[in-house]
Structure 1
């Protein structure tokens, strides 16, 4: 087998692309998977009546028309009309070649088996795995002297070694089990080694299970959140912590549950969020005072009870995929942070400090939050209510570093316009430094790295992650 079949860690296999953030099997989902760091893309493949290979999961379109009864041109027309992606497989292959991603083919139609192999070979794809639920597809590929590893997808209830007999890879589709990891015993992997078979695991989105699975001797793990497989770890030379400004808002709407999930799934340390209080006193997460930029509502958010705010669409402005996404209550974000073991950078817009602290204390998250506000009186009010609260002060909001220390902060936040030599002064004073940068220029990333702040607050955390991987290749 090829050298790439013995990775130092399990491959991140994006299940139908990054399907937590874009329509599954769409080019957008595969493009996002590449940016999130997926090693492979799991691609569902079917055959049109004319023989063209189509990337699509189901056998039929939403209206019931079967793909095998339609030409590629008819499928394209129908898919547009029904607002579903049905992409030519070769378009996905071209994007994979461009981005360097491997192809994990899930062949849905037996007649597509050999054409998939030929298409990959014709386009010079080296890293590919060809799989199917139908064991006959693996047998066909073997007879055709397929140069790629062959996988059999094993459904729940089937005996893995019998069902995937003769395949190079056993792909366990056990996602409906509560604790599938309990069946992945040392004896199971010993038997795999004896038979010369590798293991790929079902699509997994639970962070606790993923933490266990990543330590097992498997070839790869499928996930709708491919960033969850290889969470960020800072380089030893610079143990910097990364804050995601309003969540991972490159991939999901800002200040929402999906953007929070994405940031923490990727292994970033903090999510920065904006808190407001509704007319009926509920603490919720939203940046603007005015509703129109990020929802389908109008007017000031302070006019309404939370029930009204909750009914607004906070996702369509970002992408139709997120249509119906709601403004989250603060408690929901706290629950996600707690689930991932993450921390929060809490900006108090007009949120009531007492209600904010009540929500945090109810979640047991006080030690995992720090606070900032444009209105320093609001920050002082929070500190008066909770002397042990962790505060951040922006250097640009006070006359000097000495003046900032009067607030007894834990963190001093800088921008690139500030005197960055004072980052070292903070270190000497026992203060943590945070540098906020909302751009994506590499020269500015280099400038940040020169001064080595303790924390960075970024709008493009994934680009910065990739920058660190290049700058510290031993770590990557």
Structure 2
């Protein structure tokens, strides 16, 4: 069974016979910390749905019990008014926190989504009920953990068929904290360089004791790059897309452009949308650029403020300070209320942070100041441009001969005309365009891209058959799931 002491048992699925020396998963499990809590309120169904959308393998759920015996997903021991969760009824809890779900509702969603559960049991009284609910919902992939060793001991003595994790606080000996646990869960995210603790001798000792390792919640791309290659079972993150970023098939090294960022996860053309797209391993985020009345370059699609902000009127008639006073996220989801319209400089900084690339569409922003900022950031080779205003593109080519500029095939009578107008480096096609034209560009200086703003599987199949160098998508995560299910040979 899952609970072990002085054995080498470490099973990773429940309900079956013990498995001795279970090999590590081929890549660390992406464990969504309280759901995708960077993009929705933690421990809510909304956060867990977004975790599923982002491809999380498991959801970390904080579990407590109310005074009337309801098992709920809730992190803190007390409500905002100081009342203990254990001392209020479910009705009272939901009056204070309307979106607090029952554990059974979370598990039903997990079963539907095919996600595993990482149960962080905060209240010992919820321990056995959690175990029963996991069995009831037939959750195969699960780990049950706690900081409280009384909880892990109770689960072990109850014959828990799932692995039991000891959550190790900063300063505790990871090997001595709970020696009978199957999993050592290091909660060391507050260290400056926790990745430096993951040395060979630590893993040798853990594996010799029959234990596996799960890591703290990590949102820094540099630290994540260091820890995802270590022999760990899973990594927690508020941004589960960061754990195992997209890697295209070796037979088709396609680059994925995210239209207005990850606009199904976060508000379009905002820093959270751009960061989500690049954290997920997609090659580019596409953003739209306008010029303010005081000469600042800002990121927003529409020429007016009405659709995606709390303001009204034309964007170019506003100063940066006036735009910064607006809410650019509440229209999308109350969670993002207070999100601001970003500047180009801020978006360039996110691209640098994630070693990502950008597609910059010039709306009212003229090419010269945009190119200056791109050059100052050192991103000339990692950005390409387009605009409905062809004069902007011709001017850009004149002032920056090495700038990478796109042309749309649909705007020209033939492919050669699209290439010749301003010396394009990239041609954008549509899924219904002639695949032979796409093929003529393959392997040459000119690159091809297919743009598609829906998520119909048959159209995804058509795009895959066309084999462009790049795809520009409104729902890159749907494409990622579809591509993973395909035989791309």
TM interval, shorter chain, is over 0.9
Q: What is the alpha-carbon distance in structure 2 between the residues aligned to residue 435 and residue 279 of structure 1?
A: 35
Which residue pairs with 2:275 in the alignment?
Answer: 261
* Equivalent-residue separation in structure 2 for 1:239 and 1:127 (angstroms): 31
Separation in 1 of the partners of 2:488 and 2:172? 42
Residue pair 1:235, 1:472 contacting (<8 A) in 2 also: no
| RMSD of Structure 2 on Structure 1 (CA) | 1.3
Residue 11 of structure 2 is matched in structure 1 by 2
Q: Which SS does the other structure have where 1:163 is aligned?
A: coil
Q: Is the counterpart of residue 107 in structure 1 residue 116 in structure 2?
A: no
Instruction: Please give the per-residue CA displacement for 1:59-100, whole angstroms capped at 9, x wherever unaligned.
Output: 1111222111111122122323xxxx3211110011111111
Moved more, 277-286 or 407-416: 407-416
Q: Tell whether the 8 Å contact from 1:230 to 1:266 is kept in structure 2 after alignment.
A: yes
SS in 2 for 1:61: coil
In structure 2, relative to structure 1, the CA distance for the partners of 1:164 and 1:437 (3 Å cut) is: same
Q: Name 1:132's counterpart in structure 2.
A: 146
Alignment of 1:377-388 (within 5 A): 377-388=391-402
Match of 2:477 among 443, 458, 462: 462
1:165: how far off?
1.7
> What is the correspondence of 1:192-271 to structure 2 with a 5 Å cutoff?
192-271=206-285
Note closer, same or farther for the CA distance 1:341–1:223 as it changes in structure 2 (3 Å cut).
same
Q: Secondary structure at the match of 1:160?
A: coil
Q: CA deviation at 1:428?
A: 6.5
Q: Which residue of 1 aligns with 2:431?
A: 416
Q: Does the 8 A contact of 1:204 with 1:222 survive in 2? A: yes
Aligned partner of 1:26 in structure 2 is 44
Normalized per residue, the structure richer in helix is: 1
Question: Equivalents in 1 of 2:83, 2:425: separation in Å?
Answer: 61
Query: Structure 1 residue 421: deviation in Å?
Result: 2.2
1:117 to 131, 134, 142: 131
The DSSP-based 3-state class of the residue aligned with 1:465 is helix
Q: 2:369 aligns with which of 355, 368, 373?
A: 355
Q: Is contact 1:271–1:344 with CA below 8 Å preserved after alignment? A: yes
TM-score under structure 2 length normalisation: 0.94
State the match for 1:282 in structure 2. Answer: 296
Counterpart selection for 2:459 from 444, 456, 459: 444
Deviations 1:80-132 (A, max 9, x none): 3xxxx321111001111111111100001111112211221222222111101
CA distance in 1, matches of 2:345, 2:320: 13
Cα deviation for residue 444 of structure 1 reads: 0.6
- Secondary structure at the counterpart of residue 234 of structure 1: coil
1:161 is paired with a residue whose SS is coil
Q: What residue is the counterpart of 2:447 in the other structure? A: 432
SS at the partner of 2:111?
Answer: helix
User: What TM-score does the superposition give when structure 1 sets the normalisation length?
Assistant: 0.97
> Per-residue deviation at 1:3?
5.6
Aligned residues: 470
Of 175, 178, 187, 1:173 maps to: 187
Q: Name the structure 1 match of 2:68.
A: 50
Residue 81 of structure 2 is aligned to residue 66 of structure 1: no
Contact 2:12-2:141 within 8 A present in 1 as well: no
Q: Which moved more, 1:119-128 or 1:212-221?
A: 119-128
CA contact (8 A) 1:204 1:224 kept: yes
Contact 2:60–2:118 (Cα < 8 Å) also in 1: yes
Partners of 2:401 and 2:289 in 1: CA distance = 20
1:273 to 275, 279, 287: 287
DSSP-derived class of the 2:235 partner: strand
2-structure distance, mates of 1:11, 1:97:
17
Write the distance in 1 (CA, Å) between the matches of 2:310 and 2:12: 52
Listed as ranges, the gaps of 5+ residues in structure 1 are none
* Residue 15 of structure 1 pairs with residue 24 of structure 2: no
Alpha-carbon distance between aligned partners in 2 of 1:247 and 1:402, rounded to the nearest angstrom: 30
* Contact 2:287–2:361, Cα closer than 8 Å, also in 1: yes
Q: Deviations over 1:195-221 (max 9, x none)?
A: 111110000001111111110000100
Q: Which secondary structure does the structure 2 equivalent of 1:276 belong to?
A: strand
1:405 aligns with 2:419: yes
- Is 1:143 matched with 2:161? no
The secondary structure found in structure 2 opposite 1:87 is coil
Q: How far does the alpha carbon of each residue in 1:351-400 deviate from its partner, in whole angstroms, 9 at most, with x for none?
A: 02111011111111111001111111001111111111011101122232
1:413-457 Cα deviation digits (max 9, x unpaired): 111343332111222753110010001101111111111111000
Contact 1:283 1:352 (C-alpha < 8 Å) held by counterparts: no
Give the SS at the match of 1:313: coil
CA distance in 1, matches of 2:399, 2:124: 66
SS state at 2:215 partner? strand
